[in-house]
Amino acid sequence: MKSFYNYTLNELEDLVTSIGQKSAHARTLFTQVYKKQIDSFENIENISLELKEYLIKNISLELPKVVKEQVSTDQKTVKFLVQMNDGRTVETVLVPFEKKYTICISSQVGCAMKCSFCFTGTQGLTRHLDSTEILAQYVLAFKWLKKNMPEKSAPPNIVFMGQGEPLHNIEQVKKCLGILFTTEGLHLGPRQVTLSTAGYLPGLRDFNDLMGINLALSFHSPFDEQRNELIPLNKAYPLSEIIKQLKTINLRKRQFLTFEYLIIKDMNHSLEHIERIKELLTGLPVIFNLIPFNEFPGSPYKRPLMKDVEWFKEQLSESGFHTMVRTTKGDDILAACGQLNTK
């Protein structure tokens, strides 16, 4: 059976008309499944009986199974271990951010990029997720939120920061976004979505196809040699080429590129780093997001002292870069950045 979540609105209209029904029924279905979260075709209203029977027989509204659910000790961050049809699992995390929730979504099982600071990177790539599997993570985390915190009913924001390099799977990410942005469905806007990349240049070249979403680059060091160690992908696509490509991205007024900067103890937060950053990035609309490194079992790096993080933040701010420090949520369930693992 094909999944309902695999269809764009246009594809659903084609399906509905191919069985002799009015295309308007496709819009009704989108609204009731995505906005009203009706999870059985029997309960869909205002469609013909014939269409209802067809859908029940041929299309599935089933979501992947959540095989484990962990809530952090502060009761705010929730991590789901989601099992796909072939038994592979990925993690999806619901994270509170200011007044809203954000859903951190995985785009692949494992990841090919092998970043040395990343728990997921230790596993290698098992496979890409398809658009249905990516979208289903959002739908099931949103359902959980509506059930458990009904006061938080607005569709949460999304960050593609879970397992995988989303630009390595850009076609499936693009299809998923098209469905999420559909007015009759969840009607998310590009401002609500941030995609984080390690700098996968072939995908970055097509970034403008992703409808104006926000981009976050895992930067971590302005020196290629050091970045090669942290992100081996940098050997193939060095910083100079990435920065050149970033300059071609169409940004809205007041839209910034986020540069994620993992601060690792005694490694990448000296005055030389500041000077090189100024040389490379002055003039680019960049916001720095500093992330004190989270140690994981067997990690080769150490967490920095907070006073060093604050010093680096001040230096960047004084150099004219808007800079924030990300407070880590959910460390106790390993749901912080770079700590996801399918095991």
Give catalytic status of residue 337 as yes or no. yes
Per the residue annotation, which of 104, 118, 176, 337 is the catalytic one?
A: 337
Rounded Cα–Cα distance for residues 143 and 120 (Å):
26
Nearer residue to ligand SF4 within complex by CB, 130 or 165: 165
Radius of gyration of the chain, Cα coordinates, nearest whole angstrom: 21
Interface with ligand SF4, residue 63, by CB under 6 A:
no
DSSP three-state, residue 288:
strand
Q: In what order do the strands lie in the sheet with 193-197?
A: 65-71, 78-83, 89-97, 100-104, 157-160, 193-197, 214-218, 257-263, 286-292, 322-325
Find the largest Cα–Cα distance for the chain: 70
In the complex with ligand SF4, which residue's Cβ is closer, 107 or 315?
Answer: 107
Residues 6+ apart with CB under 8 A from 33: 4, 39, 44, 61, 185
Q: What backbone torsions phi and psi does residue 196 show, to the nearest 5 degrees?
A: -105, 130
338 binds ligand SF4 (CB under 6 A): yes
Rule CB under 6 A: choose which of 115, 139, 167, 309 binds ligand SF4: 115
Interacting span for ligand SF4 (CB under 6 A) from 117-125, 171-179, 313-321, 327-335: 117-125
Rounded CA separation 257/245 (Å)? 12
CB of 121 to ligand SF4, least distance (A): 3
Contacts of 319 (CB under 8 A, 6+ apart): 274, 277, 278, 282
Residue 339 is a binding residue for ligand SF4 (CB under 6 A): no
Which CB, 55 or 246, lies closer to ligand SF4? 246
Residue 168-207 contact track with ligand SF4, rule CB under 6 A, x = bound: ------------------------------x---------
Q: Work out whether strand 108-110 and strand 125-128 pair parallel, antiparallel, or are unpaired.
A: antiparallel
Least Å distance, CB 333 to ligand SF4, is: 18
Phi and psi dihedrals of 315, rounded to 5?
-60, -45
**x/- string (CB under 6 A) for ligand SF4, residues 214-253?**
----x-----------------------------------
Q: Which is nearer to ligand SF4, 113 or 281 (CB)?
A: 113
CA–CA gap between residue 279 and residue 281 (Å, rounded): 6
Cβ 35 vs Cβ 186: under 8 Å: yes
Rounded Cα distance between 177 and 293, Å, is 30
- Count of residues binding ligand SF4 (CB under 6 A)? 13
In the set 91, 133, 165, 260, the catalytic residue is 91
120 binds ligand SF4 (CB under 6 A): yes
Binders of ligand SF4 among residues 268 to 307 (CB under 6 A) are: none
Which of 108-116, 146-154, 173-181, 326-334 is the region at the interface with ligand SF4 (rule: CB under 6 A)? Answer: 108-116
Nearer to ligand SF4, 32 or 341 (CB): 341
Identify the H or E element spanning 39.
none
Of the pair 198, 281, the CB lying nearest ligand SF4 is at 198
77, 335 contact by CB (below 8 A)? yes
Question: Using CB under 6 A, which of the segments 111-119, 136-144, 173-181, 246-254 binds ligand SF4?
Answer: 111-119
- Verify binding: residue 165, ligand SF4, rule CB under 6 A: yes
Question: By the criterion CB under 6 A, which residues form the site for ligand SF4?
Answer: 111, 113-115, 118, 120-121, 163-165, 198, 218, 338
Give the residue numbers marked as catalytic: 91, 337
